[in-house]
Every structure is written in C-alpha cells, then in structure tokens.
Structure 1
Amino acid sequence: MNVKDFKNTLSELNELTFVLPNGSHIAPHFHLTEVGEITKSYVDCGGSVRLEKTANFQLWTAHDYDHRLKPRKVIEIIEMAEKEIGLQNLDIEVEYQSETIGRYGLEFEEDRFILTATHTDCLSKEKCGIPEAKPVNLIQMESPNSCYPGGGCC
C-alpha cells in the first residue's frame, strides 16, 4: 500500500486497527512515533547497484492505555511529513517492536490494516547461479512405500 492509498483509506474510517501476520492485534493505544522516508542504496550480491525508497511508519505501544489515535490525526501527521520532509507517494513499510524491530508491508482488508511479513531474497539469482524453482508434480512422484489400488499393500 502506498501513502496516497493509505490516506484515502484512513479518510473513510472512524477507528484504526492493525493486525500482525500471526493474527494478533496491535493494542489500540498504539502511537505513530515516526513517519519518514528511507532511501537505501546498495550493491547486491550480483554486483548490481540498487536504490530503494520507502515511506516508513513506526508504531509503538506504551502504558497509556487510554490513548487512541484517530484516523484524522494520522492523516495530519502524514501531511506534516509531506510538507516538512517532502514525503513522497511511496510504498509503506511499517516498523513495530516484537522480539526485535519488525519490518512489515501493509494491506487493508475488512476494515483493518494488515501488517504483512517481509522476507530476504537474492536479487541477482541469475548472476549468482541460483536455479529458478521448478514446480513439483506430486501425482507423478513415485514412492516405494505408497499404497495404491491393486498394489497389495493393504
């Protein structure tokens, strides 16, 4: 989800709900502690120079259980970041504290925001000699221990 889509979705909501990939909900008294833009420039394992930009939102929970962040306030914070630091309409990455700082993608389903798992990957598989994964046809696989009609195993 990008910044524009997030703001448009927020404008239609009365309350905010964020759900982690494991299905648990982020406590409703969360804070939006950072809204920023992260630029990452690097060389991947195949020698390609890469540049990535993401909008970064950091969520945090404290012990102020009565705190509730309304969608309109989140829009105001984002608009301040757009004005003050030139936040662009980029894909959003959400940071949230778990065992360490977790980094998540963001989707919207059934009136709630879903934090989606992110994974590491080799970005230059062809240069690194990593073969493309081939689908396995389980029907064609033979197993010496499998039972089948007329096979005498039952």
Structure 2
Amino acid sequence: MKTSELFHLLKQHEQKPLLFEYAPNLLVGANYHITEVKHLKIDSVDCGAGTDTWNETIIQLWESPEEIGKTEYMQVFKALAILERVGQMKAYDMDAEVKFEYSNANFHTAQLFVTGFTIKNGNLLMKLDVNPTDCKAKETCGVAEPAMESANECAPGGGCC
C-alpha cells in the first residue's frame, strides 16, 4: 500500500476504531500508540551488482504496558491527526510503500506490509504480513525460478499426485 492510499483510506473511515492484524487472527492490543514515523530512502546494491533506490514510510506501533487491558482502540481520526502532524514536520513521499513496525513479547520486531483491509464489526481492520526475503538477481546469479506446474501435469496419471 502506498502512503497516499493509506491517507485516502483513513480519511474515508475517520469515525471508526483502527485495528491491526499482525498475524492471522492476532491483533495489536488496544493499548497501542503510534510512537514513530520513519521516512526512509533505500539505496541498495543486490547480489548481482544491480542498484536500486526507493522510499518507504514506516509507522511504528507500540503497546503501552501501563494500558494493558484497555479495550477501546484508537479512532482513525486520532491516528490520522498524528500522521498529518508528522507530515507538517517532515513531508511524506506519497508514492512510498507504507509499512508498520511492530513487536510484542510473543512476536519479533518486524516491518509488516499492508496486505489489505476490511471493515469488521464497525472497525477498520488493517491486515499486515511479513514479506519474505528474495534474491532480486536470480537471472544474473543463476538462481532457478520455481517451476510452474501446468494443468496437464496434475491430471490423473500425470505423476504429480
């Protein structure tokens, strides 16, 4: 999700509570705070000597130990106000990919991609997930792409079952 898409989504649902699903059926606690917004410029070289640059927006979520047991989630309008205030201090690249950084006692610190969202029980639920590492220079480095199975290979008697 691009930063601009996140802002557009939040503006459409300002009166809803904002929830984050960091793994299937696991929610960031209602005691979360937005504690940091990072504007990153990535300047990389891959294993095939290819170069690339891009920007990312990283929004950090933190669960306050002083508010364990809290049941009311932050309203979208409050999150939007925080993010807009940050934007007045440091401009966003609205085309940058947005990620949410999060951890808890049972989940390692990770930068999670937005994989979708849903309206559930009157809440705006942001679905987050990790994106596995990958080799960007497969062709240059001689890394074979996984073979795609054709429909014929899995036909009865095709040997794939």
Q: TM-score, normalised by structure 1?
A: 0.82
Match of 1:28 in 2: 30
- Superposed CA RMSD in Å reads 2.0
Which stretches in structure 2 are left out of the alignment for 5+ residues? Answer: none
2: distance between equivalents of 1:33 and 1:141? 55
- Measure, in 2, the Cα distance between the counterparts of 1:118 and 1:39: 18
d(CA) in 2 for partners of 1:2, 1:26: 21
Is structure 2 residue 73 aligned with structure 1 residue 71? Answer: no
Q: Which residue of structure 2 lines up, in the alignment, with residue 149 of structure 1?
A: none
Aligned position for 1:91? 97
CA offsets 1:57-106 (integer angstroms, 9 cap, x no match): 01110121447422112112211222211111122011101443111111
Which secondary structure does the structure 1 equivalent of 2:23 belong to? coil
Which amino acid in 2 is paired with 1:138? C
Per the TM alignment, residue 109 of structure 1 is displaced from its structure 2 partner at its CA by 2.1
> Contact 2:19/2:73 (CA < 8 Å) preserved in 1?
no
Structure 1 unaligned residues grouped into runs of 5+: 147-154
Give, in angstroms, the shift of residue 21 of structure 1: 2.4
Please say if residues 16 and 28 of structure 1, whose CA atoms lie closer than 8 Å, have aligned partners that are also in contact: no
Paired residues, number: 144
Task: Give the structure with higher Rg (CA).
Answer: 1
- Supply the distance in 1 between the matched residues of 2:5 and 2:52 (Cα, whole angstroms): 25
State the 1:52 CA deviation.
Answer: 2.3
Aligned to 1:53: 55
Q: Tell me the SS of whatever aligns to 2:27.
A: coil
* Partner in structure 1 of residue 110 of structure 2: 102
SS of match in other structure, 2:53: strand
Asked whether the 8 Å contact 1:36–1:81 carries over to 2, the reply is: no
Matched residues in 2 for 1:79 and 1:20: separation? 23
Aligned to 2:154: 138
Point out the more displaced range, 120-129 or 65-74. 65-74
